[in-house]
Structure 1
Amino acid sequence: MKKKIKKMKVIGVGKWRVVLDLGNRRVIKVAKSKNGISSNKQEVIVYKSAPSRIKKHLGTIKKYGDGYRILVMKKYNRMFPRSKKYKRKLFALRGTFMRNGIIPHDLNSNNLRLKNNGLIVIIDYGNFENRRKK
């Protein structure tokens, strides 16, 4: 696995994870520590438990494994615009998440992209709190 990772292009580095481009409109998030594993696991939990009105705003998880050390997601390229219009949309989206029992921490433009239809998508939600009733 380490040999494969060395050949991939790094597109993001965080405190606990490295994001690499798989080249097939997918990215892989590789945990660097226990906290990275925890972030990957939290993303899987939030994604699996989210209702469809929320899930459409979360980066699509394609697969995960190795004890949550790796997480493969769809790649989104359209950057989040810093316009008033999209700031208002983001504020409304935050409320939608809260009403559905998901506390969205770290909703900054680095963690946001747009789908082709203009819908806001969150690409890093590893530190969201899921307070939905199981």
Structure 2
Amino acid sequence: MKALLQRVTKAQVEIAGDNVAQIDDGVLVLLGITPSDDQQVAQKLAARVAGYRMFSDADDKMNLSLSDINGQALVVSQFTLAATTTSGRRPSFSSAAPPAQAQPLYQEFVAQLQELGIQVATGEFGADMQVSLTNDGPVTFLLDTEKS
């Protein structure tokens, strides 16, 4: 499972011109799911996202987490994060989990963030979405459970 975290001052998702979700200070999470992922991986990654220190403290050091600042999360499914891009000029998506497997894991990830006290907004799984954000910093991190 891969989570691309972007620290934001605002972010939103539109579908067919309708604003379906938006947050203010917090993190935009683009979530990619692979066939080897399971419920335990989703739970561990959610805990890591909630506790990842990517927000500045009073000394301007990245010592505060999403939980520490009572920030919000906008979680958007993004199967392209699981693409194989090691060769050629066209990505292969065979390394992405099929929707029947990925959707419950996406929902588990969201539920775990909520259980950890994070206010969560979401895109719509499988939809054609337009995501806009104001990246604060810019600060962006890729958390990859297969590399940890």
TM > 0.5: no
Higher helix share goes to which structure? 1
Higher relative contact order at CA 8 Å, sep ≥6: structure 1 or structure 2? 2
What TM-score, normalized to structure 1? 0.30
What TM-score, normalized to structure 2? 0.28
